Chain A
């Protein structure tokens, strides 16, 4: 086995498609609570989100949870009145579920962009349109390159003594000069790139990919497990349908409901399990001599 991040990009994409699909499609409070807990757990354990990201997610959660019961007055179980408007249990539960969905999806999307790095995205979509893949990769590279060059120019300007951060007007003018140099340099350089591509026969044959990912047996196994758990969850969700309005009607702990929730929990912690097992195996394999 390999760790989750080293699986075939296709398998990783399938995994996130399954998880995000289940999170976004089902309005099952139990499932969504599990989704939120596991996505926070995995974000903390893998270090995907920093303090600011957690704070942002918490704000999103609170706003989403509070907005629904404040503005929707459907439902029969009135908890209390706010400005003569009923604050109902049903709307509150719906709001909480929606907040769980939103926050969990945010965490998972953040994780997705960490695990599927740009080269993997290009590998996935290179077959779809090689020209587009090249254009995207070139632009993403330029974003980074611009940052590097900006710093280079800034340093050389500073070394020449043309740049003083102490004075506001000087700082602004210095920055404008750096930007101007940056644009000239990059545009001129871009033409060289284009000529070079042209003379090396760009666009005359199929493009090949630098990284070659094969589908190994464990990739197939991983995708199979994903599909099976997703199917089980979907069946479970389908059989324990939740009605929010006008009366909350949910049977979360029916056999199907529990089976679905169990399958979803397993699916959600699958990457953590794989990486955890690998870590334990690594510990065991360390020689004690």
Chain B
């Protein structure tokens, strides 16, 4: 794995990629390309997410190990998306982020969407989903200390991330439907998506509580044993 040697560059990239570059690419894909080049944009986002991931470590062998573990967690998330109705994708991204770092969480979220959409259908919505799950993972990584300590906060994070996912995806709905952004349409889209939001929130909480101890212990063990 390539290591970004310059510490300052690493810090700059760490914030500029998830909060400026990737959102810009997502908006660009919806507004400028009108959703036509979504596959190229999605791959671009994945490449950026990988670059972001590279800002998360300073030693080469740690990078390779962490990448393989992230790939496995991503595969688990994809595997879990085949469960009907309840999707563990958020829970797995959060676990990855909490134990392997915020950047790994972003990569896990973005990649699991990109890869599972091979089976569930790629489309102009893919970049938005990648951003949504990526950010859910990223913030879980930032808040990892608190999330690990209190189960209540973890539950709260599950609920909030379900809501956040809906809010981000409804931006896409409005842009796709109206060709521009309108607050009225956005509000009505949010209201009409309430049942789905509730379902996301519930499945997030259920899977977070289910996976917290077993998966957490295993990741912690790998972390201590190999210094990932």
Interface of A with B (CB < 8 Å)?
A: 21, 24-25, 106, 109, 113, 118, 125, 128-129, 131-132, 135-136, 138-140, 142-143, 145-147, 176, 179-180, 183-184, 186-188, 190-191, 193-195, 197-198, 202-203
- CB within 8 Å: A-B pair count: 100
Q: Is the CB of B47 within 8 A of A194?
A: no
Would you call A109 and B67 a contact (CB within 8 A)?
Answer: no
- B199 within 8 A of partner (CB): no
A132-B47, A136-B111, A146-B75 given; A187·B118 CB < 8 A: no
CB-CB nearest in chain A for B79: A146
Cβ-defined contact, A125 with B43, below 8 A = yes
CB distance from A38 to the nearest CB of B (A): 20
A184→B218 contact, CB < 8 A: yes
A sample of 23 inter-chain contacts (CB < 8 A) reads A24-B36, A106-B121, A118-B118, A125-B43, A128-B43, A132-B43, A135-B71, A136-B111, A136-B114, A139-B78, A142-B72, A143-B78, A143-B79, A176-B214, A179-B214, A180-B214, A180-B218, A183-B76, A186-B72, A194-B68, A197-B64, A202-B64, A203-B64
A186 to B70, CA, bound (A): 12
Q: Pick the residue among B68, B76, B78, B123 that contacts A193 (CB under 8 A).
A: B68
Question: B16 in the interface, Cβ–Cβ < 8 Å?
Answer: no
Q: Is the CB of B218 within 8 A of A147?
A: no
Give chain B nearest CB distance to A204 CB in angstroms.
10
Q: Which A residues touch B222, using CB under 8 A?
A: 187-188, 191
Select the residue from A176, A183, A188 with max chain B CB neighbours within 10 A.
A183
CB-CB under 8 A from B65, the residues of chain A are: 190-191, 194-195
Q: Determine which of B50, B61, B219, B226 lies in contact with A132 in the assembled complex, contact meaning CB atoms within 8 Å.
A: B50
Across the interface, name the chain B residue whose C-beta is closest to A141: B75
Chain B residues touching A, majority SS? helix
- A7 CB, nearest partner CB in chain B, Å: 19
Which chain B residues lie closer than 8 Å to A129 at the CB level? 43, 47, 50
- Residues on B with C-beta less than 8 A from A132 are 43, 46-47, 50
Residue B168 at the A interface, CB < 8 A? no
Interface presence of B215 (CB below 8 A): yes
B60 to chain A, nearest CB (A): 8
In chain B, positions 25-57 with a C-beta closer than 8 Å to chain A are 36, 43, 46-47, 50
Q: How far is the CA of A143 from the CA of B36 in the complex (A)?
A: 28
Residues from chain B with a CB closer than 8 A to the CB of A24 are 36
Minimal beta-carbon separation of A200 from chain B (angstroms) = 11
Chain B nearest CB from A113 CB (Å) reads 6
Please tell me if the beta carbons of B111 and A21 are within 8 angstroms of each other in the complex: no
- Closest beta carbon of chain B to A286's beta carbon, Å: 38
Docked CA distance A287–B44 (Å): 52
Cβ 8 A contact of A139, one of B36, B115, B123, B218: B115
Other than A21-B36, A25-B36, A136-B46, give 7 A-B pairs with Cβ distance below 8 A: A135-B67, A139-B74, A146-B76, A147-B79, A187-B218, A188-B222, A191-B222
Judged by a CB distance under 8 angstroms, whether B69 is at the interface is yes
For the complex formed, measure the closest distance between the CB of A119 and the CB atoms of chain B, giving whole angstroms. 13
Q: Which 5 pairs across A and B sit closest by C-beta, in order of nearness? A: A142-B75, A194-B68, A190-B68, A194-B65, A194-B64
Q: How far is the CB of B99 from chain A (nearest CB, A)?
A: 11
A-contact 0/1 string along B92-119, CB 8 Å cutoff? 0000000000000000000100110010
Question: B2 contacts the other chain (Cβ, under 8 Å)?
Answer: yes
- Choose among A125, A136, A187, A203 the residue that contacts B69 (Cβ–Cβ < 8 A): A187
Which residues does chain B contribute within 8 Å of A180, judged by CB atoms?
A: 214, 218
Task: Kindly list chain B residues whose C-beta atoms are within 8 Å of the C-beta of A25.
Answer: 36
Contact B68 A138 (CB under 8 A): yes
How far apart are the CA atoms of A106 and B122 in the complex, in Å? 10
Q: Is B1 engaged at the interface, CB distance under 8 Å to the other chain?
A: yes
* Bound form: Cα–Cα A55–B214 in Å: 40
Asked if A136 and B122 sit within 8 Å, CB to CB, the answer is no
Measured between C-beta atoms, what is the minimum distance from A159 to chain B in Å? 23
How near does chain A come to B94, taking the closest CB pair, in angstroms?
15
- B residues 64-90 with Cβ under 8 Å of A? 64-65, 67-69, 71-72, 74-76, 78-79
Q: Which residues of A contact B76 (CB under 8 A)?
A: 146, 183
In the bound complex, CA of A195 to CA of B2 (Å): 15
Which single member of B60, B122, B218 contacts A183 (CB below 8 Å)? B218
Q: CA–CA, A150 to B199, complex, Å? A: 27
> Which residues of B sit under 8 angstroms from A179, Cβ to Cβ?
214
Query: Given A24-B36, A194-B67, are A113 and B118 neighbors across the interface (CB < 8 Å)?
Result: yes
- Contact B111–A135 (Cβ < 8 Å): yes
A109 and B122 contacting across the interface, CB-CB below 8 Å: yes
| Given A24-B36, A198-B61, also A142-B47 (CB < 8 A) | no
Report B59 CB to chain A, min CB distance, Å.
Answer: 11
